[in-house]
Structure 1
Amino acid sequence: MADRVILGVGGGIAAYKACELLRLFTEGGYDVRVVPTAAALRFVGAPTWAALSGHPVSPDVWDDVHEVPHVRLGQSADLVVVAPATADLLARAAHGLADDLLTSTLLTARCPVLLAPAMHTEMWEHPATRHNVATLRARGVHVLEPATGRLTGADTGKGRLPDPAAIHARALALLAATDGADAAAERPRDLAGRRVLVTAGGTREPLDPVRYLGNRSSGKQGYAFAAAAVDRGASVTVVAANVALPPPAGVRVLPVSTTAELRAATLAAAAEADVVVMAAAPADFRPAEVATDKIKKADVGDTPTIALVANPDIAAELGAGKRPGQLLVVFAAETRDAHAHARRKLRAKGADLVVVNEVGVDRGFGADVNAAAVLDADGVVRDLPEQPKRAMADAVWDVIRARLPGTGLTG
């Protein structure tokens, strides 16, 4: 039997994005019942939700009373997702109000509940909203951090609905955790109050207006580190180098392309970070000269020569400039003698930990799983067998968390 998902839709302009979230669920074979608020139906009508879900749609507890929907929906659901969750809806949920079908469902649900907020920045930052979010989280409700970006009108700031794909990924993790398949999804918020910087992806160094030197890094592992840190309560910034993935919900993303751009953004953001996770793969070299026009084979022949110069060592700069108590985690993607190279890199960069894995055409880059080891100056701290990259990220965060000042833990 397909998992039963309740998709609640609050009355915000982002309600139209819930159509994409609904599509992701139904294409995955989930049985989805949409429960909009009356205000949400002003943005997207009931016929749309009914057509996309295959179920009748109503915000009212008085429809189909004989089926007792205000109790039955919550009792029978495997997951409740609300997107967008407006400031008003968060307030009603936090105070246990049950004045429509959606809030009644939230009160009766005994399954995981995931709320994806969307509102203007001032509303999200208001003490009342922050208190309501803290109350809901204390009860075990999963409340995502909103994204930063363009809001209604000309406003820009924190409060944008996270990408539907990111909400969907978090929802699937909760469903898997319910089935006992993903304990990482239920991690405590043990990074609350911490500021985290993650780099992700691979840099590209232009040869001409068309071509570039680059590498195979997809950014999947870096984004997994960012998503895990957000779920554990951290405030997370990601410097993303050419990453073609939806950003994790609740992170601030700084897009870059070249190693020089990665360096500038990373050094600036690291000044305020408690933990820096250098998961990106910056190019070690760049062309000494960049052609202003496309390089033609007729002009360079069959064996062209490209002069290269070394790029700056960003990790070494970060290691040399670390603040007291700041942790630096670097990565070593190696094709042979992985541990030996990783130990040398740890010393050379002045890092606290190095995550090392062997890579190749079918390993590491672009894959959904990874295997690695975490090393410190004394040797191997933890071996990590092949597992999904999100699980890998949580395992590494366990090691990092034990070394943060004020934890009372040891490495």
Structure 2
Amino acid sequence: MLLAKKILVCVTGGIAVYKAVALVSKLSQAGAEVRVIMTKSAMEFVTPLSFQVLSRNDVYFDTFDEKDSRVIAHIDLADWADLVIVAPATANAIGKIANGIADDMVTSTLLATTAEVWIAPAMNVHMYEKKSVMRNIQQLHDDGYQFIEPAEGFLACGYVGKGRLEEPEKIVELLKQHFAKKVDLPLKGKKVVVTAGPTRERIDPVRYISNFSSGKMGYAMAEAAAAMGATTVLISGPVDLPVPAGVQRIPVESAADMLDAVLTHYEDASIVIKSAAVADYKPKDQHPQKMKKNDGETQIELVRTTDILKTLGERKKNQLLVGFAAETNDALAYGQSKLNKKNLDYIIVNDVTDPAGGFGNDTNVVTLLTHTGQSIAFEAMQKRELAKILLQTIIKEEGLHTNDR
């Protein structure tokens, strides 16, 4: 339920900050994309580096430290989040939020966001029971904020009572339940097969023919499919990328390996997304030993590999078949030709010479061509975000909530 969800964790200064470190770790492990803002007081307990390593994102703590000059950081974070959680939330932070005070990065972002905000208090039991604190909490309840009630137990100050930050495991479970109630799973019950990355065609034990594909777009498509409820199989050429949560990864090397793996899963697939950059040619002969240098030139005879996408188009029954076309010129014309010749339902076309797209980048610029003759252009955006939008567009076009594919 947390796969690809954007969770903004706001950490304020209390001894329970160490639990926030565990919370960020568990959210990341559950597949969420996590970003962290810390107050100066929180940094007295834990350094930003701990959160940076566990979230794999920059940590924010200074309203005036703009890490990206193209955006205003606290506004960008406020707009980015699907949900904001303040953990631990001190009495001081609760008071500021309740009264609309925005004097640091945390409170400024909270004032700017339209996302749901959850507050997880942590403080001494007598502080928690103080009328002023209760009044501020009630005000936030009235304003629509959600609370994760503190637990009872032994507190850092030596008291026993209510005021302990709820355990990270429990917070993660509450978030999963929350998103489960709201999540739309249009691909639930469907099997999606995604191919990604390059293939390698061996010349000898130390050399091969390949291409510059990073696999990032294919991995993003697999992640998006899993987040929409699909049973997702990712058939991947050799890349150095983490396997998305909830995805079954099948590693392959050559075009022949990829063809075998795809055909194994093709029969019962609902959707097949062919984003891999498969080698069109392979050496006619593979040398069993390393080829030695000789004086003068040498030649390697190449033969065609099997066209996987064409093969799938020829065998298509009820599967929805989506191809990719990475081109350097006349991209739309070549994409349309592939759509027709290979019996595809959709093809996603990108010009790899575009600085905002292509191999290796975290962003992409594509045009979606449909079997009904539509051409839908998407401007430059992060590949993970683009993958979600592409799948949502295809789902809308196909009516996959009720489709028999």
How does the TM-score come out when normalised to structure 1?
Answer: 0.61
Aligned runs of 1:140-155 on 2, under 5 Å? 140=182
2:375 maps to 1:333: no
What does residue 348 of structure 1 align with?
Answer: 341
Contact 2:201 2:210 in 1 (8 A): yes
Contact 2:51 2:59 in 1 (8 A): no
Task: Say which SS state the counterpart of residue 342 (structure 1) adopts.
Answer: helix
Task: Say which SS state the counterpart of residue 292 (structure 1) adopts.
Answer: coil
Contact 1:373 1:380 in 2 (8 A): no
| Equivalent-residue separation in structure 1 for 2:201 and 2:390 (angstroms) | 30
Task: Say which SS state the counterpart of residue 253 (structure 1) adopts.
Answer: strand
Q: Once the 2 structures are TM-superposed, how far is the Cα of residue 20 of structure 1 from its aligned partner? A: 7.9
Q: Deviations over 1:51-109 (max 9, x none)?
A: xxxxxxxxxx997434549x999x9xxxx9xxxxxxxxxxxx9xx995674547898xx
Q: Structure 1 residues 308 and 252 mapped into 2: Cα distance closer, same or farther (>3 Å)?
A: same
Q: Once the 2 structures are TM-superposed, how far is the Cα of residue 361 of structure 1 from its aligned partner? A: 8.4
What does residue 195 of structure 1 align with?
Answer: 191
Q: Once the 2 structures are TM-superposed, how far is the Cα of residue 251 of structure 1 from its aligned partner? A: 0.6
What does residue 24 of structure 1 align with?
Answer: 54
What does residue 384 of structure 2 align with?
Answer: 390
Task: Say which SS state the counterpart of residue 289 (structure 2) adopts.
Answer: coil
Instruction: In structure 2, list runs of 5 or more residues that go unmatched.
Output: 1-7, 12-19, 30-48, 62-84, 89-120, 141-145, 154-163
Q: Once the 2 structures are TM-superposed, how far is the Cα of residue 137 of structure 1 from its aligned partner? A: 3.6
2:381 maps to 1:375: no
Q: Deviations over 1:122-152 (max 9, x none)?
A: xxxxxxxxxx998554345xxxxxxxxxxxx
Largest Rg, 1 or 2: 2
Structure 1 window deviating more from structure 2 (394-403 vs 340-349): it is: 394-403
2:289 maps to 1:312: no
Which residue identity does 2:185 align to in structure 1? R
Structure 1 window deviating more from structure 2 (97-106 vs 306-315): it is: 97-106
| Equivalent-residue separation in structure 2 for 1:378 and 1:211 (angstroms) | 43
Q: Structure 1 residues 7 and 62 mapped into 2: Cα distance closer, same or farther (>3 Å)?
A: closer
Q: Structure 1 residues 408 and 234 mapped into 2: Cα distance closer, same or farther (>3 Å)?
A: closer
Instruction: In structure 1, list runs of 5 or more residues that go unmatched.
Output: 36-60, 81-92, 108-112, 116-131, 141-186
Q: Once the 2 structures are TM-superposed, how far is the Cα of residue 34 of structure 1 from its aligned partner? A: 8.7
Q: Structure 1 residues 34 and 213 mapped into 2: Cα distance closer, same or farther (>3 Å)?
A: farther
Q: Structure 1 residues 302 and 4 mapped into 2: Cα distance closer, same or farther (>3 Å)?
A: farther
What does residue 270 of structure 2 align with?
Answer: 274
Q: Deviations over 1:138-192 (max 9, x none)?
A: 345xxxxxxxxxxxxxxxxxxxxxxxxxxxxxxxxxxxxxxxxxxxxxx733222
What does residue 118 of structure 1 align with?
Answer: none
2:227 maps to 1:231: yes
Contact 1:343 1:377 in 2 (8 A): no
Contact 2:9 2:86 in 1 (8 A): no
Aligned runs of 1:104-253 on 2, under 5 Å? 135-140=177-182, 188-253=184-249
| Equivalent-residue separation in structure 2 for 1:269 and 1:279 (angstroms) | 16
Q: Once the 2 structures are TM-superposed, how far is the Cα of residue 206 of structure 1 from its aligned partner? A: 0.7
Q: Structure 1 residues 105 and 250 mapped into 2: Cα distance closer, same or farther (>3 Å)?
A: closer
Contact 1:275 1:328 in 2 (8 A): yes
| Equivalent-residue separation in structure 2 for 1:381 and 1:99 (angstroms) | 58
Task: Say which SS state the counterpart of residue 336 (structure 2) adopts.
Answer: helix
Q: Structure 1 residues 279 and 62 mapped into 2: Cα distance closer, same or farther (>3 Å)?
A: closer
Contact 1:4 1:30 in 2 (8 A): no
2:401 maps to 1:407: yes
Contact 2:23 2:169 in 1 (8 A): no
2:125 maps to 1:65: yes
Which residue identity does 2:302 align to in structure 1? L
2:323 maps to 1:263: no
Task: Say which SS state the counterpart of residue 226 (structure 1) adopts.
Answer: helix
| Equivalent-residue separation in structure 1 for 2:124 and 2:175 (angstroms) | 32
Q: Structure 1 residues 203 and 65 mapped into 2: Cα distance closer, same or farther (>3 Å)?
A: same
Which residue identity does 1:276 align to in structure 2? V
| Equivalent-residue separation in structure 1 for 2:57 and 2:367 (angstroms) | 36
| Equivalent-residue separation in structure 1 for 2:166 and 2:231 (angstroms) | 29
Q: Deviations over 1:199-254 (max 9, x none)?
A: 11000111111111000100000011111112222221100101211111111100
Q: Once the 2 structures are TM-superposed, how far is the Cα of residue 327 of structure 1 from its aligned partner? A: 0.3
Task: Say which SS state the counterpart of residue 207 (structure 1) adopts.
Answer: strand
2:10 maps to 1:4: yes
Which residue identity does 1:23 align to in structure 2? V
Aligned runs of 1:57-96 on 2, under 5 Å? 64-68=124-128
Which residue identity does 1:262 align to in structure 2? M
Q: Structure 1 residues 244 and 105 mapped into 2: Cα distance closer, same or farther (>3 Å)?
A: closer
Which residue identity does 1:319 align to in structure 2? G
Q: Structure 1 residues 64 and 240 mapped into 2: Cα distance closer, same or farther (>3 Å)?
A: same
Contact 1:229 1:236 in 2 (8 A): yes
Which residue identity does 1:310 align to in structure 2? R
Q: Structure 1 residues 361 and 135 mapped into 2: Cα distance closer, same or farther (>3 Å)?
A: closer
What does residue 323 of structure 1 align with?
Answer: 317
Task: Say which SS state the counterpart of residue 59 (structure 2) adopts.
Answer: coil
Structure 1 window deviating more from structure 2 (233-242 vs 373-382): it is: 373-382
| Equivalent-residue separation in structure 2 for 1:328 and 1:377 (angstroms) | 10
Which residue identity does 2:308 align to in structure 1? I
How does the TM-score come out when normalised to structure 2?
Answer: 0.62
Q: Once the 2 structures are TM-superposed, how far is the Cα of residue 379 of structure 1 from its aligned partner? A: 2.9
